[in-house]
Amino acid sequence: MNTPPITFDGGPWADINLSALCANFAMIRDQAPGAETAAVVKCDAYGLGSAPITKALLEREKCQTFFVVYPEEGATLRTLLKTSSPRIFVFDGPSEKTLPLFDQFNLIPVINSIAEANLWRTRMGVKPAGVHIDTGMNRRGAPVSDVAEIAKLDLNIIMAMSHLACASEPEHPKNRMQLDAFKDVAASFPDAQLSLAASGGALMGRDYHFDLIRAGIALYGGTPFETDDERITPVVALRAPVVQLRELAPGETIGYGATFIAKRPFQIATVALGYGDGYPRAGSNRASAIINGERAPLAGRVSMDFITLDVTDLKNPPKIHDIAEFFGPALPVHETAQNCDRVPYDMFTGLGGRVDRRYV
């Protein structure tokens, strides 16, 4: 017996605008007209739902290349797509355990070491692979010193990539250092597509574009930079209903730890959203929401299930069931993230299971 999923009609939700998603894909493609634009859909499409996200990009924008981290993600994605035509690259290279997944689901590994290169060549022959060259991130990828040995293995390398460590700061000198290093080592793979740019590199200029853009956070409406970028259209709106209104007298406190003390008569709106839904506790007494077109500051600590908002001075006082937007078209996710000591990446991926994803 199949049990239908349970949704929380009285709880928080995220409106996910697939047209805005596609508009961001088209914008990135236009920024790099000589390169293929691919979509990074790892971590369940940044927590937003890989099935509807990938389907929209495939059908509307004809995206033909997707990136995930793990082969298990790739297998799920291939099953969702129900077609073998789009390429699915797996950032995590092959292992003895995962080789069957690469074979069964037509996945392309991104080689990160000599050991992975040898394994792929021995067990999979000339099946296509990518290679990740570490030019300075020092996190994942084959060191530059190993590139020559990997190139000698006669692998069918169809994509060679590296990853910028400081793309969030376009003027950072490390970007140019990595660009120069990538140009040098990429020559070892003359028949491969070259890829250095994720969202940040794609929006930094043609020097970083090469043959393939790995579009990630900008697809989903978040900026890859330290400041907002007006070229990016908001995609996700985190919203929740007002469930209670309360009047406070001077001297009364709000929430755990009594961190907010009313210095005058206050009106507080309690909203059905909390850190259990992925809204960071660090936003307590710092961040804001939008109710009826007006800004309402968070007052008191964010708790697991509820947030309290100061609505005292709103010209249009809220009612029960009115909607508060915590980021979205009315309130940039970048601003909310900064006020929560976060970045847009983890605002999206941190959305909890109670947050109903609604596709517009």
Residues 22, 53: Cα–Cα separation, whole Å? 9
Element (H, E) at 159: strand 157-161
Amino acid at 183: K
- Check if 319 is active-site: no
pLDDT greater than 60 at residue 5? no
The CATH number of 236-359 is: 2.40.37.10
Residues 193, 102: Cα–Cα separation, whole Å? 20
The CATH number of 18-220 is: 3.20.20.10
pLDDT greater than 50 at residue 43? yes
Catalytic entry in 55, 152, 256, 279: 256
CB 253 within 8 A of CB 267: no
User: Three-state SS for 354?
Assistant: coil
Sign of the torsion angle spanned by Cα atoms 300, 302, 308, 314: positive
Tell me the pLDDT tens digit for each residue of 68-79: 999 999 999 999
Domains of the chain by residue range: 18-220, 236-359
Given this model, what pLDDT does residue 82 score? 86
Token duo for residue 14:
């995220």
Element (H, E) at 174: helix 173-186
CB 276 within 8 A of CB 354: yes
For the purposes of burial, counting CB atoms within 10 Å of the CB of 62, is it exposed (0-12), middle (13-18) or buried (19 or more)?
exposed
- Check if 315 is active-site: no
Residues 6, 235: Cα–Cα separation, whole Å? 24
Catalytic entry in 42, 220, 279, 345: 42
* Residue 325: strand pairing partners: 239, 290
Contacts of 2 (CB under 8 A, 6+ apart): none
Given this model, what pLDDT does residue 85 score? 87
Given this model, what pLDDT does residue 23 score? 98
- DSSP at 231: T
What average pLDDT does range 13-37 have in this prediction? 97
Tell me the pLDDT tens digit for each residue of 173-202: 999 999 999 999 999 999 999 999 999 999
Q: What does the mean pLDDT of the chain come to?
A: 95
What average pLDDT does range 67-91 have in this prediction? 95
161 annotated as a binding-site residue: no
342 annotated as a binding-site residue: no
pLDDT band at 7; cut points 50, 70, 90:
very low
What average pLDDT does range 279-288 have in this prediction? 98
pTM of the model: 0.94
